[in-house]
Amino acid sequence: MAKIPYFRWWIASLLFVATGLSFLDRQTLSTLAPTITRDLRLDNVAYSHVVSAFILSYTVMFTVGGRVIDRLGLRVGFAISAGIWGLASLLHSVAYSALSLGFFRFLLGVGEGGCFPGATKAALEWFPRRERALAVGLANGGSAFGAVVAPPLAVCVSLHFGWRAAFLATGGLDLLWLAAWLFFFRLPRESRFVSAEELQYITESGDGAAGEAMKAPGAPAEPLISWAKLLRLKEVWGFALARFLLDPVFYFYMFWIPQYLSQTRHIPIAAIGKLMWIPFLTLGVSNFIAGWTSDRLVRAGWSVNAARKTLLGFGAFLTPFSILCIFAPSAQAAIALMSVLMFAHGFWITNYMTLIGDLFPVKVVGSVVGLSGSAGGVGGILSSLIIGVVVLHGSYSPLFVACGLLYPLGFAVILLAIRSVRQIDFSTTPSS
């Protein structure tokens, strides 16, 4: 089998597409929400229940999915996850009520729960520390570009073939990706496409290369670190609390902005498709910039602690400017100010995910990412139910104020929980 030069970047691209498809599936519903809610006769409260059904299963499966991937390995665990969410996306096309739509949304969350724990773990497995932030940024950055593609694609398909066809299209793309994943992905030492020189670069001693990547093919898996040991660490609680505070902001932007544009700004569905991609494009660009900058600072002699926290702080203190979208004179100006928050979020999430890899051995990264994602999901469930009531009886303005102020609070949590960045040593015998 011929070797593929720089194959680790092929893997990163495959992860980019995976997270992109996960957000394409999510955003298809929110983009078409004005049409779907009208067709199925759903009010804002019923729609909030549908959204909460996804967040509920996603919340549980973020932890379960991360743990399953740590236990079964990336190739099998991620494949199971992708297969479930691809099937769920296809099933959206036959929804006929709030109950059926909510159930299919719940199933989508079951599958997608393993996406980001798996993508982050795979990026850490395939890249040495010197390229780690950029690799994580690329892997997670696909989510932004999936959200960019979703509005124009969903609107175009919906206008020509109906909204149900949009879910058939996204589900078909999910299954194509699954076939590519099963064909190309193995851990570095097991891959038939990676050269000996690249393998040495990935796994060279002392550069923070992933533990599983350095094991010979067929070597027995290390036992998992127990939940009891993980939950005794203040760092784990810090990551979880930060996600609890900040994930509701991202869920609000994902699921409610099309409704805001339709109900408050009175924008038709075709115009929503032309505007909704802009904040997510900004997010995608900032994911790459954040990863590149973080790696660049480390190579320039900054400590990992200083580099990651400086960029986290930059993102956190940029977000309050987004509150001004309340006073924006037009929908276009409001979208521009929302893009400020999404740009800041790119700096936040890229360095947040990389920081988990800096602190924890790769064998538990899926579990820690999953646990923190579940905490964020709990915040998302609570906030989504509150949003439905607030919007029904008030306005969107308090929600934009909260979104702008929560990131500085999340940054304070990280500073308190993680005083210095060093690899946590689980030197005692771990229990399963």
Task: Please write the tens of the pLDDT for every residue from 209-222.
Answer: 444 444 544 444 55
Q: Which domains does the chain have, with CATH numbers?
A: 7-190+233-417 (1.20.1250.20)
pLDDT at 431: 41
The pLDDT value recorded for residue 29 is 87
pLDDT at 302: 92
In 3D, which of 98, 111, 121 has the Cα closest to residue 52? 98
- pLDDT, residue 61, reads 87
pLDDT at 223: 64
Can you list the residues of the chain whose pLDDT is less than 50? 205-214, 216-220, 428-432
* pTM check: above 0.75: no
Q: pLDDT tens digits for 262-319?
A: 888 888 877 877 787 888 889 888 988 998 899 899 888 899 899 999 999 999 999 9
